Structure 1
Amino acid sequence: MRALLVAFFLLALLLTGLFIPALVAGGWILLLLIGVGLVVATLRWLLAITVGLPILAGGALLREIRDSRSASAAPTHPMPGDPDYLDWANREGAYSAPRPRAAFHLSPAPARRRFPWSRPRVVNGRPEPGHPDYNA
């Protein structure tokens, strides 16, 4: 297990580019990384308390908020068989014909952007709006 841990840290040093500085520093960087890894492995219960519990508490709080905002089990309108169901259904239009839809209209295309210094021109033999010959 210890050899596997050392091999893992050597691979991590090699991949992060710290292998040569670790050799130059006499192995102190490697020892430091191994020490940090062992401390984290030893104190993982502390990590679980300081990191895991707040995450669990936040998840429970979000779940509680979501559940409190969800629809209740009781319907908000009368169901078939209730005395005022037909009044409600007729008022809602459940028994009436489908409402006609409005026709689909596209808005006109935007006009060419005009700057204060631009003047209406004649384009392809046709004057633009605002040109003196536009209505001619």
Structure 2
Amino acid sequence: MCFEWFTKGQHDLESDVQQQLFKEKILKLESYEITMNGFNLFKTFFENVNLCDHRLKRQGAQLYVEKLELVGMDFIWKIAMESPDEEIANEAIQLIINYSYINLNPRLKKDSVSLHKKFIADCYTRLEVSKKNFNLSF
């Protein structure tokens, strides 16, 4: 219920307050405990914080990546890799694909080979780290 309230009232907060709340509270949540309401809250703040930082740009109903270094992207990866809820993990994976590859500003897509290599390398590195962390826990 609290997550729903914050999601609905988020537009009433100044952008600096949104950024502070996002960075100091939302990004500190345990990624494996995120519910769908919590994920929707995260996504709303993620989009607004990155829009305010000019890292994302809205064109109609679509958001496009202007800068590849999005605030909160590491947390999306953590949700994708750690959520026990398959629906939430799939939503996070879709965000990763959209914001790392599909919804990029055309100028960022000019060197598609390099973009592919970077995306695949990032996926591989994160999977390796996750595998090591998983092995350490047993």
User: Normalising by structure 2, what TM-score?
Assistant: 0.22
Structure of greater relative contact order (alpha carbons < 8 Å, 6+ residues apart): 2
Higher helix share: 2
